[in-house]
């Protein structure tokens, strides 16, 4: 989700960083759509009251951390990070209280094919699953942003586990080109992450 009034939010954040407290009151409503969107993600499984509590905690944390934003142009990313961390903290709190997310185990393939082994009767770690999904989605978005050539070679080698020779045959390029392209694409990906 993008900020509708990104430039206005950046300008208000600059004002906040100079000590203008009234700018905070004008900035928070601009950020609220992102806060509400993230806290209502289905994967959190928050009821309405919990969503409202988490949203309020996020607003408080944002007010405390506005001054620490290094790059005001990246305010949407900053807000998203704060939101996700607060939601994960809430999941941890729920788990500590004894709330077990059994629905997660039922919805996800927790067998060997999924890469996660779950012992029968063991508790599911919802925080770990959510964090893994977030990271995986973020990496896939970054891979998508690299373009089709990079996406093809990275997915062929790292996701499908093809050998360079197999990837070269599928992509119609030489084995050396696969290696060179993969190296360049991975360097670009590392800079994005």
pLDDT digits (tens, 9 = 90+) for 33-60: 999 999 998 888 888 999 999 999 999 9
Instruction: Please tell me the pTM assigned to this model.
Output: 0.55
Maximal C-alpha separation, the chain: 61
Number of domains in the chain: 1
Q: pLDDT-derived band of residue 125, with 50, 70 and 90 as boundaries? A: low
pLDDT for residue 94: 78
The 8 Å CB, 24+ separation contacts for 84-90 are 84/38, 84/134, 86/54, 86/57, 86/58, 86/61, 87/38, 87/39, 87/41, 87/44, 87/46, 87/54, 87/130, 88/127, 88/130, 88/131, 90/44, 90/46, 90/50, 90/53, 90/54, 90/57
Residues 6+ apart with CB under 8 A from 30: 3, 4, 5, 8, 9, 12
Range of the domain at 87: 1-101
Q: What is the pLDDT of residues 54-84, one digit of tens each?
A: 999 999 999 999 888 888 888 888 999 999 9
- CATH number of the domain to which 74 belongs: 1.10.1740
Nearest residue to 157 (alpha-carbon basis) of 136, 180, 137: 180
Q: Of how many residues is the chain composed? A: 193
pLDDT for residue 74: 87
Q: Residue 149 above 60 pLDDT?
A: yes
């Amino acid at each position: 989700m993008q900020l509708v009034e990104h430039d206005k939010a950046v300008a208000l954040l600059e004002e906040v960083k100079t000590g203008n407290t009234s700018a905070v009151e004008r900035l928070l409503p601009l950020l609220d759509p992102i806060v509400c969107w993230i806290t209502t993600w289905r994967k959190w499984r928050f009821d309405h009251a919990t969503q409202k509590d988490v949203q309020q905690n996020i607003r408080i944390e944002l007010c405390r951390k506005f001054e620490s934003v290094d790059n005001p142009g990246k305010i949407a990313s900053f807000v998203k990070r704060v939101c996700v961390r607060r939601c994960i903290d809430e999941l941890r709190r729920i788990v500590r209280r004894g709330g077990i997310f059994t629905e997660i185990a039922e919805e996800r393939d927790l067998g060997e094919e999924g890469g996660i082994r779950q012992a029968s009767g063991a508790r599911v770690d919802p925080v770990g699953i959510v964090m893994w999904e977030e990271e995986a989605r973020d990496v896939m978005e970054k891979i998508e942003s690299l373009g089709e050539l990079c996406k093809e070679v990275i997915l062929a080698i790292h996701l499908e586990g093809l050998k360079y020779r197999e990837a070269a045959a599928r992509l119609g390029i030489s084995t050396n080109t696969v290696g060179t392209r993969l190296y360049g694409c991975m360097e670009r990906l590392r800079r994005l992450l």
